[in-house]
Amino acid sequence: MKALVQRVSSAHVVVAGQTVGRIEAGLLVLLCAMQGDTQVQAEKLLNKLLKLRIFSDANGKMNHCVQDLDGQGRHGGLLIVSQFTLAADTSGGNRPSFTQAAAPDEGKRCYDLFVAQASTRHSLVQAGIFAADMQVHLVNDGPVTLMLEV
C-alpha cells in the first residue's frame, strides 16, 4: 500500500456537489492499494500513520502524532481518500501506467478495510467514496507532505 500523507489545518472532500468527509486539524491520507496487498499491509500502514510524528510540540519540533492531538484539545482527524494514481509508473513514456495498482474490486476491499480499521483505532475518521469523481479541498499545514509505503 502507498499513502500520500498531508498535515492539514482543514480538509474536505466533495462528491457530486455534496461534502462526504470533513476534518479540521489532522491528516489527509491519499491511499492506494497495490497488487498483492493484504490486511497485513493495511495494518502496517495504519500503525505507521497513527504514530507518525509530524505535529509540532511546544518547542516547534515535530514530536507529536495525530493521536496526540486529542490530548492537546485539537481533535486530530483522518480524512482517507482513495487514490489509485499513486501507483503510476511513468518510466515508459508520457502516459502513466497503472498496472501495479490493485484491480478495482481488490482496491475497494483494501480501502474499505483500511477505513474500517482506522475507525476502530482513531476517534475521528472521515472518508471519500471509492472510485468516485472527487474534489479534495485542503489547507496543507507547513506544508508537510510525506509518502508512506509498506
Active site residues: 83-85
The span from the CA of 121 to the CA of 18, in Å, is: 27
Amino acid at 36: G
Cβ atoms within 10 Å of 57's Cβ, excluding its own: 12
Lookup: cell for 149:
509505503
Beta carbons of 8 and 28 less than 8 angstroms apart: yes
The span from the CA of 139 to the CA of 135, in Å, is: 14
Q: Could you tell me which of 24, 38, 25, 29 has the C-alpha nearest to residue 5?
A: 29
The span from the CA of 121 to the CA of 67, in Å, is: 10
Q: In sequence order, what are the beta bridge partners of 4? A: 30, 147
